[in-house]
Amino acid sequence: MVGKMQEQTILEQMIKLSAKKLELLKQLKALSEKQDEAFREQRLDEVERVLNKKDEIIDYIGKLDDAFLKASDALKKLLGIESLTQLEDTGIEGCSELKSLIEQITALVEEIIKIEKQGYENAVALQNQFGQEIKNINNAKKIASAYTPKPLNVPSYFIDKKK
């Protein structure tokens, strides 16, 4: 009986960790969309703020993943199973909820990857545009300097004589 209670407790912990991860992934998706929009509108200060916030969320998700992995390993060991796909055969309450959460997480991660790919393409396009603008500025400086009269390079000497 103690084993079943322990298994149930671990599974409930995995459900809570997965629900929190799903919530954070939704925030991450919204931030990725915001970042993509900021790139398109060339608001680079906004891009930096969004990236910092995304980094915080990703770090936190990493901690959740570590905790989930430990719980998952412990549960598999207790149940003597190799994979979480075998959970449904154990009769532990909440297996279908965990499966549903994992499916939602997987789908959301795929959506975020699509947004990030688009964001990367926008960033590359922006970088290319800025690169071209910098080249144009440098060329304009060269042209302007060709028509700017140069001061004569005659050194002036100041001699300080004490009387």
Q: What is the pLDDT of residue 136?
A: 72
Q: What is the pLDDT of residue 37?
A: 87
Q: What is the pLDDT of residue 70?
A: 96
Q: What is the pLDDT of residue 135?
A: 75
- Tell me how far apart the alpha carbons of residues 132 and 136 are, in angstroms, rounded to a whole number: 6
Instruction: Answer whether 97's CB lies under 8 Å from 15's CB.
Output: yes
Mark the ranges of the chain whose per-residue pLDDT is less than 70. Answer: 1-3, 140, 142-163
**DSSP letter for each residue of 82-129:** SSGGGGGGGT-TTHHHHHHHHHHHHHHHHHHHHHHHHHHHHHHHHHHH
Domains of the chain: 2-138 (1.20.58)
Q: What is the pLDDT of residue 3?
A: 67
Q: Which two tokens stand for residue 136?
A: 């144009």
- Tell me how far apart the alpha carbons of residues 116 and 111 are, in angstroms, rounded to a whole number: 9
Query: pLDDT of 49-72, one tens digit each?
Result: 998 999 999 999 999 999 999 999
Residue 102 identity = I
Q: Considering only CA atoms, which of 106, 124, 84, 108 is closest in space to residue 26?
A: 108
DSSP-derived letter for residue 44 is H
CA distances to 25, 35, 144 from 110, in Å: 11, 17, 51
